[in-house]
Amino acid sequence: MTSGTIEKLFTDRGFGFISTVNRGDIFFHATQLQDVEFASLRVGQEVEFEVGQDQSGRLRAEKVRGVQAKKA
């Protein structure tokens, strides 16, 4: 899994972008969320996801999940 943080949200359109260290900003759609509601996402929130490609070959985030805080 790849990790990143929510960079931008377009709540009225159901998509956003995740900022990553190595791959820049990656598109995600609300239909790719797992165990998290789109309305609960916030800019700066950490997420994990798999990197896939759309039909045009552009990178997109798939199977997006929120990252749970690890207990020390």
* pLDDT score, position 68: 74
pLDDT of residue 1 exceeding 90, the answer is: no
* pLDDT score, position 67: 86
**CA-based torsion, 70, 42, 2, 29: positive or negative:** positive
Query: Has this prediction a pTM greater than 0.85?
Result: yes
* pLDDT score, position 23: 87
- pLDDT tens, 28-67? 999 999 999 999 999 999 999 999 999 999 999 999 999 8
Please give the CATH architecture assigned to the domain spanning 2-66: Beta Barrel (2.40)
* pLDDT score, position 14: 95
